[in-house]
Amino acid sequence: MPTALITGASRGIGRRTAELLSERGWNLLLTARSGHDLEDLATRLRTSSQVVATAAVDLTSPSEIQPAFARLISEGEPPSVLINNAGAAYTGDLLAMPLERWQWLLQLNLTSVMQVCSAVVPSMRSRGGLVINVSSHAARNAFPQWGAYCITKAALASFTRCLAEEERDQGIRACTLTLGAVNTPLWDAETVQSDFDRRAMLTVDQAADALVNLAEQPSNQVIEDLTLMPAAGAF
């Protein structure tokens, strides 16, 4: 069976994607910051997946990433699909943003993705594979108070296109899932102002279904970007 490696797997979109892939018989390599939540999920998923390995890793800590992912892959096998799902948001005036928050957001939403790909993609080349980076419609738009988030997602979209070109001859495909607002725990973070009605947002199930659809593409094709928006429009 194929193997998927998912970051940010302990809750929200990552957790639901892991559940759906497990139901379909995938082997899973899962990472998140919370080892306790991750292991609770893994224990449940091991009833339907042959291999479920986990690694608690803080993607905002650059020095943790390479050794953690090397250990994770050694416990299973190189993934056929890498899903970079972990991420965060920050709301506030762009030029008033504390430098440490700017660096934190860039590390989590962009630099850690490069680091994860650097740690994982070389192991995928012998058999080919797919990298899916979870992006946002903020990559294409400018929203007041969301400038730093927009910038990280725009850079992530560009990174994905460049990665696809560089790895094409190695049999590696890369794509983005571009999402409108999804009702996830991201909106409850202390760094986000979100005192508004979420009922018209996409659900976690809808976003996870889209990720499964991308993950199960035939190896001779690639959907370079799949954009999923709430029918009510942009948030």
**If DSSP codes are grouped into helix, strand and coil, which group holds residue 189?**
coil
Cβ(5)–Cβ(215) below 8 Å: no
This prediction has a pTM of 0.95
- Residue 184 domain flag: yes
pLDDT single digits (tens) 73-108? 998 889 999 999 999 999 999 999 999 999 999 999
Beta-sheet strands, E only, within the chain: 3-6, 27-32, 52-56, 81-84, 129-136, 172-179, 225-228
DSSP helix, strand, coil percent of the chain (3-state; round to 5): 45, 15, 35
Which residues on adjacent β-strands are paired with residue 178? Answer: 135, 227
pLDDT single digits (tens) 169-178? 999 999 999 9
Query: Residue 232: its pLDDT value, please?
Result: 83
Q: What is the CA radius of gyration of the chain?
A: 17
Query: Residue 208: its pLDDT value, please?
Result: 98
Assess whether pLDDT exceeds 70 at residue 187.
Answer: no
Query: Residue 102: its pLDDT value, please?
Result: 98
Number of domains the chain is built from: 1
Query: Residue 77: its pLDDT value, please?
Result: 87
Residue 62: give its domain's CATH number: 3.40.50.720
- Residue 234 domain flag: no
Assess whether pLDDT exceeds 70 at residue 182.
Answer: yes
- Residue 233 domain flag: no
Distance from C-alpha of 148 to C-alpha of 124, rounded to nearest angstrom:
32
Residue 196 is part of which domain span?
3-228
- Residue 64 domain flag: yes
Assess whether pLDDT exceeds 70 at residue 234.
Answer: no
Assess whether pLDDT exceeds 80 at residue 150.
Answer: yes
| Average pLDDT of span 175-201 | 81
Assess whether pLDDT exceeds 70 at residue 227.
Answer: yes
233: pLDDT confidence band, cut at 50, 70 and 90?
confident
